[in-house]
Amino acid sequence: MKTFRPFARLLAALVLVPLFTSCATAGSAVPDQRLIGHWEGQDRFDGMSRDEIVQHRAKVQDVETEFSIAADGRVTGHVGGAELSGCTVESNRGWLGRSLHLKTDFIIRGRLYGAVVPGSEAGIHEINAPFNLVGTRMDGTLFVIRGAFEYPYPTLLLRLDPKSGG
């Protein structure tokens, strides 16, 4: 019987840590006041998929990115030639996740419509963009979500600054 105790403790830790980190973020859907406003930057686009880059349908390049975050958490804007739709920003971790260095402080979830650059895959793409505020800069990555059994593809490195005059 004693041989199962370390396994039981490990199993309990694997179940309880995610539970506590998700509970620590419950009810925190309203964005931090520092996020509200207009953000812009030239961000590195890595393609909508690995195949897109390998097959030279699109090249790695900087694209203009603009986000507007409303007080109710809605996010609008564009990434190159593609538009954000149905996007919201929310808290991505609480105090426990932050102290354990799990996840990022914020995440944008929604869809991206259209081709980011000519030759890039057009259509509707589910996206997640986890990010932190580093000083006054939004610093993160935009991922394309393909399905439950495929790892999200990092499409864009986000480095956005508050828009001057916005």
Q: Can you give the pLDDT at residue 29?
A: 47
Q: Can you give the pLDDT at residue 115?
A: 93
Helix ranges restricted to H, 71-114: 95-99
Q: What is the largest CA-CA distance in the chain?
A: 67
- Domain annotation for the chain: domains and CATH numbers: 2-162 (2.40.128)
Helix ranges restricted to H, the chain: 5-23, 50-54, 95-99
Q: 42 or 151: whose pLDDT is higher?
A: 42
CA angle 91, 92, 93 (to 5 degrees): 100
Each residue of 87-101: pLDDT tens digit? 999 998 877 766 777
The first and second tokens of residue 54, run together, are 């390998």
Each residue of 20-62: pLDDT tens digit? 544 444 444 456 889 999 999 999 998 888 888 788 888 889 9
Do residues 144 and 125 lie in contact, with contact meaning Cβ atoms separated by under 8 Å? yes
Each residue of 84-137: pLDDT tens digit? 999 999 998 877 766 777 788 999 999 999 999 988 989 999 999 999 999 999
Q: Can you give the pLDDT at residue 56?
A: 80
CA angle 93, 19, 12 (to 5 degrees): 135
d(CA 85, CA 137): 23
Tell me which residue of 138, 143, 114 sits closest to 39, measured CA to CA: 138
d(CA 74, CA 88): 4
pTM here is: 0.78
Tell me which residue of 139, 100, 114 sits closest to 16, measured CA to CA: 100
Give the mean pLDDT of the chain: 83
- Mean pLDDT throughout 6-29? 53
Do residues 92 and 25 lie in contact, with contact meaning Cβ atoms separated by under 8 Å? yes
Q: 77 or 4: whose pLDDT is higher?
A: 77
The first and second tokens of residue 70, run together, are 């409303």
Q: Can you give the pLDDT at residue 7?
A: 63
